[in-house]
Amino acid sequence: MTKKRIYLSSPTMHGREQEFVNEAFTTNWVAPLGPHVDAFERELVAYTHAGYGAALSAGTAAIHLALRLSGVKEGDVVFVSSLTFSASCNPIVYEKATPVFIDSEKDTWNMCPKALRKAYEKYPNPKAVILVHLYGTPAKLDEIMEICREHQTVLIEDAAESLGSTYKGRHTGTFGRFGIYSFNGNKIITTSGGGMLVSDDEEEIKKARFLATQARDPARHYQHSQIGFNYRMSNILAGIGRGQLLALEEHKQRKQEIYQTYQEAFAKIPEITMNPMNQEGEANCWLSCITIQEGCRVTPSMVMDALEKENAESRPIWKPMHLQPVFAEYDLITAGEEIVSEDIFQRGLCLPSDIKNTSEDMELIIQTVTSLFG
Ligand SMILES: *Cc1c(COP(=O)(O)O)cnc(C)c1O
């Protein structure tokens, strides 16, 4: 008999999603745009207090538009976290701008403020900083924002993994000039695929909606003075999003419980450390991760293999962008000698963090990992 699959992070639907989708069918709003899109934007912004939002086809599209709206052009430098998923920096290259990767700090695994400050010595005029809140843990926002303010650089928060996380009581994604969220299939809530660009500035969000619908000028005839994109979210998917948003707090609570369960279980194993929290904030705990002490005979690969034998899905830590063949030509700035992001990548892995995991599933995962260290 094949064992039940235990997932890393899979979609969890509750029923309201289907009702909103049915409503779209009944009213024949099977189109990009529509009442669910407007409502989803309003409801997400009401939840995060983000100001204004534009629902888009992907988080990647939201980053792309944020760069456009920040005036990033060919040859411009953009600072971006190295320890992230490639979607954080691909749009920099779409615009023929130059990513400069910034290393992580150990406290939160996010962009290191010391390295960011150092980056300005070599590249004094970046057009934007893209800051990722990795695995849901808020970055050191006070320090990063202070540096961006001093240098008058636009801050774009990639909160794709951190919807629902807060820093000093305020939602991640609402600190920068722009914030982006993702509703890809494995994120904390999903529309199967989708994203949102948010900003306090209503004009910027209006411009984003314009660019996302092929930049059509306000004329009756089809007239275009700029190149646009087809980046809007469909009314069907926004219906799913509205249903999911109603369950976001519940998803967050379950993710936090999963993290705590692992944390308590692995407190007994000195070689294992959980991914860090930020004491000045609250993480949504999108993925629970561990690192294994240097020199330990158990490697992340051994843990992943052992879990796979139990049909449980785990995953390496994101391979840092400065190590990717496609980004090999770009620079990495570190605070000191050590490359922190590489160390986390080499010693870490993401554990199954699916909110549908039962206590038996959790027990099996914990047993499997623990037995390797016996
Ligand atoms: C998922 C993700 C994105 C991209 O979102 P899509 O909606 O898949 O385009 C961007 N950045 C990070 C850090 C992500 O994890």
- What's the token pair of residue 365? 């995962």
CATH of the domain at 284: 3.90.1150.10
The closest of 357, 327, 304 to 85, measured between CA atoms, is 327
Identify the DSSP state of 312: B
On whether both 253 and 240 belong to a single domain, the answer is no
The best mutation among 131, 163, 184 to test binding of ligand 1, ranked by most ligand atoms within 8 Å of the C-beta, falls on: 184
Kindly state whether residue 11 falls inside one of the protein's structural domains.
no
Q: Give the rounded percent of residues in the chain with a pLDDT score beyond 90.
A: 96
Domain edge (last residue) among 224, 245, 266: 245
Structure tokens at 358: 């039962």
Q: Tell how far the Cα of 280 is from the centroid of ligand 1, in angstroms.
A: 24
Structure tokens at 118: 């150092």
Return the residue whose CA atom lies nearest to atom 14 of ligand 1.
160
Q: From the CA of 218, how far away is ligand 1's center (Å)?
A: 32
* Mean pLDDT of the chain, nearest integer: 97
Mutation choice for ligand 1 from 67, 82, 88, 162, CB with most ligand atoms inside 8 A: 88
The string of pLDDT tens digits covering residues 239-278 is 999 999 999 999 999 999 999 999 999 999 999 999 999 9
Taking alpha carbons only, the member of 164, 153, 98 closest to residue 131 is 153
Q: 311 is written with which tokens?
A: 């049909």
In angstroms, rounded to a whole number, what is the distance separating the alpha carbons of residues 270 and 204? Answer: 49
Per-residue confidence (pLDDT) for residue 62, from 0 to 100: 98
What are 69-111's pLDDT values in tens digits? 999 999 999 999 999 999 999 999 999 999 999 999 999 999 9
Domain identity same for 92 and 159: yes
In this prediction the pTM is 0.97
pLDDT by residue (tens digit) across 117-133?
999 999 999 999 999 99
The pLDDT, as a whole number, for residue 167 is 98
Residues 322 and 178 in one domain: no
What's the CATH number where 29 sits? 3.40.640.10
Residue with tokens 């944390």: 263
Residues whose beta carbon lies within 6 Å of some atom of ligand 1? 58-60, 84-85, 87-88, 132, 158, 160-161, 182, 184, 195
Task: Provide the terminal-to-terminal Cα distance of the chain, rounded to the nearest Å.
Answer: 28
The total number of structural domains that make up the chain: 2
Q: How far apart are CA 199 and CA 346, in angstroms?
A: 36
Closest residue by Cα to residue 366 from 268, 287, 250: 268
pLDDT computed for residue 31 by the predictor? 82
Angle between helices 235-245 and 16-26 (to 10 degrees): 150
Length of the chain: 374
* Banded model confidence at residue 2, pLDDT cuts 50, 70, 90: confident
- Tell me what the mean pLDDT of segment 169-174 comes to: 98
Distance 197 CA to ligand 1 centre (A): 12
pLDDT confidence band for 307 (50 / 70 / 90): very high
229 & 270 share domain: no
Residue 182 Cα to ligand 1 middle (Å): 6
Nearest to 232 by CA among 207, 213, 204: 213
At 158 the pLDDT is 98
Instruction: Report in angstroms the alpha-carbon separations of 329 from 78, 311, 325, 326.
Output: 14, 38, 8, 8
pLDDT tens digits, residue range 13-43?
999 999 999 999 999 998 888 999 999 999 9
Domain-ending residue, one of 245, 280, 303: 245
Cα–Cα distance for residue pair 98/91, rounded to 1 Å: 10
Establish if 5 belongs to a structural domain: no
The rounded Å distance from CA 42 to ligand 1 centre is: 21
Burial of 51 (0-12, 13-18, 19+ CB in 10 A): middle
Q: Residue 160: what pLDDT?
A: 98
Q: Which atom of ligand 1 is nearest to the CA of 193?
A: 7
Indicate if 79 and 175 belong to the same structural domain: yes
Alpha-carbon span 160 to 189, nearest angstrom? 10
Strands 170-171 and 166-167: antiparallel
183-204: average pLDDT:
98
Burial of 96 (0-12, 13-18, 19+ CB in 10 A): exposed
Say whether pLDDT at 46 is over 70: yes
Query: Are residues 138 and 109 part of one domain?
Result: yes
The answer on 225 and 86 residing in a single domain is: yes
Q: Are residues 261 and 359 in the same domain?
A: yes
pLDDT of residue 321: 98
Q: Which atom of ligand 1 is nearest to the CA of 87?
A: 10
Q: Above 70 in pLDDT, residue 219?
A: yes
Q: Give me the pLDDT at residue 104, please.
A: 98
Question: 352 and 232 in one domain?
Answer: no
Domain that residue 306 falls in:
248-371
The pLDDT confidence band at residue 1, using thresholds 50, 70 and 90, is low
Measured in degrees and rounded to the nearest 5, phi and psi for residue 304 equal -65, -40
Contacts of 106 (CB under 8 A, 6+ apart): 276, 340
Burial grade of 336 (CB within 10 A; 0-12, 13-18, 19 or more): exposed
Residues 37 and 118 reside in one and the same domain: yes
Indicate the residue among 203, 224, 245 that finishes a domain: 245
- Together in a domain, 257 and 217: no
pLDDT mean over 41-56: 98
Which pLDDT band, with edges at 50, 70 and 90, does 152 fall under? Answer: very high
- Whether residue 167 is found in the same domain as residue 257: no
